[in-house]
A and B are shown apart, each in its own frame.
Chain A
């Protein structure tokens, strides 16, 4: 699976305003609403479900990266977006480091395979230090779009 299969380009943010876990999750979910990927009426439910998932264990998987996610019946295909916090946010991540790079995923409840393949793609690409570093240094959403497109085109072979 490629980034272009699930990342909504219009929802990408290079400067999140939020400075908390709930704040960044809400801001990213709102960006998916604004991009027309999820319904405004489902925003609250999706934010709550993602935060409930975080209570089971942070999705801050290290290297300044978090993958907040949930299943939600309102989506018929996997949708996601990418956001960068210039300052970094305390996400109770597994290595204790603040998180700068966020991949938020909302997947249909009956498609666990798609969710796994999205996680596979994200984690495979993030093993490339320079990809991580360049994403965090992105100044505009279009920079992030270009980096994702490049990763889709010539991703590091694991």
Chain B
């Protein structure tokens, strides 16, 4: 699936599709933080949507569809992040991604696996 570039979002806007940016705050609540597996799950989910998806912390803004980008957040348990989605399916994308954080990326607190 193609990542939605800012240009194509603008193209879509010019073509009359509904384009909006929506955002919500999420909290990393799984104990191990946003390590490789949650980052993979997150990027996979983000790539399902047409919208551009970005994660924002105090220091940087990264592409939610790139596992390398997500890993550079080094988000530990307790970290608050802003998720921003821009595009025709922004709201649905945001719900799906927020739900991943709420479900602790399906991790259990006593997992020894990372």
Interface residues of A (CB under 8 A from B): 49, 52-53, 56-57, 59, 61-63, 67, 69-71, 94, 107, 109, 112-113, 115-117, 119-120, 122-124, 126-127, 158
- Establish whether residues B68 and A112, one from each chain, have CB atoms under 8 Å apart when the complex forms: no
A94 to chain B, nearest CB (A): 6
- Please measure, in the bound complex, the distance between the C-alpha atom of A78 and the C-alpha atom of B20, giving whole angstroms: 43
- Please measure, in the bound complex, the distance between the C-alpha atom of A56 and the C-alpha atom of B40, giving whole angstroms: 11
- Establish whether residues B35 and A123, one from each chain, have CB atoms under 8 Å apart when the complex forms: no
The answer to whether the Cβ of B9 comes within 8 Å of any Cβ in the partner chain is no
**Option from B33, B37, B60, B114 in Cβ contact (under 8 Å) with A158:** B60
- Please measure, in the bound complex, the distance between the C-alpha atom of A53 and the C-alpha atom of B35, giving whole angstroms: 12
**Option from B35, B60, B112 in Cβ contact (under 8 Å) with A116:** B35
**How many positions in chain B have a CB within 8 Å of any CB in the partner chain?**
22
B96 to chain A, nearest CB (A): 18
- Establish whether residues A115 and B114, one from each chain, have CB atoms under 8 Å apart when the complex forms: yes
Cβ–Cβ < 8 Å partners of B33 in chain A: 112-113, 116
Nearest residue in A to B62 (C-beta to C-beta)? A158
- Establish whether residues A119 and B35, one from each chain, have CB atoms under 8 Å apart when the complex forms: yes
The answer to whether the Cβ of B72 comes within 8 Å of any Cβ in the partner chain is yes
Interface residues of B (CB under 8 A from A): 31-37, 40, 60, 67-69, 71-77, 112-114
- Establish whether residues A116 and B68, one from each chain, have CB atoms under 8 Å apart when the complex forms: no
Assuming the contacts A112-B32, A116-B33, A119-B35, asked whether A61 and B114 have C-beta atoms less than 8 A apart, the reply is no
5 A-B residue pairings within 8 Å (CB atoms): A49-B112, A61-B67, A63-B68, A119-B36, A119-B71
- Establish whether residues A94 and B40, one from each chain, have CB atoms under 8 Å apart when the complex forms: yes
**Option from B67, B72, B73, B76 in Cβ contact (under 8 Å) with A112:** B76
Cβ–Cβ < 8 Å partners of A123 in chain B: 67-69, 71-72
- Establish whether residues A120 and B73, one from each chain, have CB atoms under 8 Å apart when the complex forms: yes
- Establish whether residues A56 and B113, one from each chain, have CB atoms under 8 Å apart when the complex forms: yes
Cβ–Cβ < 8 Å partners of A63 in chain B: 68
Cβ–Cβ < 8 Å partners of B35 in chain A: 112, 115-116, 119
Cβ–Cβ < 8 Å partners of B77 in chain A: 112
- Establish whether residues A127 and B60, one from each chain, have CB atoms under 8 Å apart when the complex forms: no
